[in-house]
Amino acid sequence: MLDPTSPPRADIGSDHDERWPAEMSLRRSAEHLRRKAEPHIRDADANAAAGRYGAALSANTTAVQVVRRLRKVEPENRRHLAVLGSLYYNQALLLEKNGRGLDGITAARRAVLYYESLDPTRRGERSVSEAVTDDALIAGDGDPIDAARLIAHLADSRARLARLLGSHGHPDHHRDRELRRFDLDPRLTLRHEINVLDAQACLTYKALVECSRYTEADYERVLQESGEGLGRYHARFPNDR
């Protein structure tokens, strides 16, 4: 999931010789953190697949901590943003599985923010069909991440947030604090936020089906998850119609 940094290249006789020890130190730090993160990511995935959600959450949390440190060492590497988006997306579900639904909402919000920072549509300034023409937005030695994949991941994270809000969100002081924490309008109602996230996720996948490799099955999957948000909200608050 994390791509190795290319090995440092000596630049004998260049103007940058005096910076070489510091550059080597940063590269070694990045390599060390990358090697440290990868097994935790694998452990989190393996434990989640086996239903060991407590162990999966522990490994995921450690991976997040390491990748956040890696991002500080390599702030220009946009791949770390995508990795953090993926880790928080998974963490949201793992927290829910461990009986921590409200914390899962916070993790899902973080996933949305990381993927929004990479959004090829520039938050709607471009259509999905225009944005998918950007082939490899995140290249390098690892698996290239193209525009369609980034757009899909953002839609997935919005759908998950919608479902978690419908299942565990409450129109109370905790929500007010959370909205302010993420620089959102505290007047935003729970139902309206779920509606917006549901529409964003579904419309995005509908567009992806028309102009990319994504299929109707992908659309139906996200439609089901985001739609569960409103369904569960109305089951919990039947008088709010």
pLDDT of residue 23: 64
Neighbours of 119 (CB within 10 A): 17
Residues 50 and 163 reside in one and the same domain: no
Structure tokens at 210: 């028309």
Residues, the chain, total?
A: 241
Residues 158 and 122 reside in one and the same domain: yes
Structure tokens at 54: 């407590």
pLDDT of residue 142: 66
128 inside domain:
yes
pLDDT of residue 225: 94
User: CB-based contacts of 41: which residues, under 8 Å, 6+ apart?
Assistant: 1, 2, 59, 60, 63, 87
Question: Would the pTM of this model clear 0.75, i.e. be above it?
Answer: yes
4 inside domain:
no
User: CB-based contacts of 83: which residues, under 8 Å, 6+ apart?
Assistant: 1, 2, 67
83 inside domain:
no
> Final residue of a domain: which of 62, 77, 92?
77
Range of the domain at 38: 19-77
CA distance 165 to 142: 34
146 inside domain:
yes
Residues 30 and 132 reside in one and the same domain: no
Residue labelled with tokens 């698996």: 143
CA distance 104 to 145: 26
> Final residue of a domain: which of 41, 62, 77?
77
pLDDT of residue 125: 87
91 inside domain:
no
Listed as ranges, residues in the chain with pLDDT below 70 are 1-24, 134-136, 139-142, 241
Residues 106 and 149 reside in one and the same domain: yes
pLDDT of residue 133: 83
56 inside domain:
yes
Domain count, the chain: 2
Residues 66 and 158 reside in one and the same domain: no
Residues 60 and 106 reside in one and the same domain: no
Nearest of 82, 40, 86 to residue 62 by alpha carbon? 40
> Strand, coil or helix: what is 137?
strand
Residues 147 and 204 reside in one and the same domain: yes
Residues 46 and 143 reside in one and the same domain: no
pLDDT of residue 197: 97
210 inside domain:
yes
27 inside domain:
yes
CA distance 56 to 49: 9
138 DSSP assignment = E
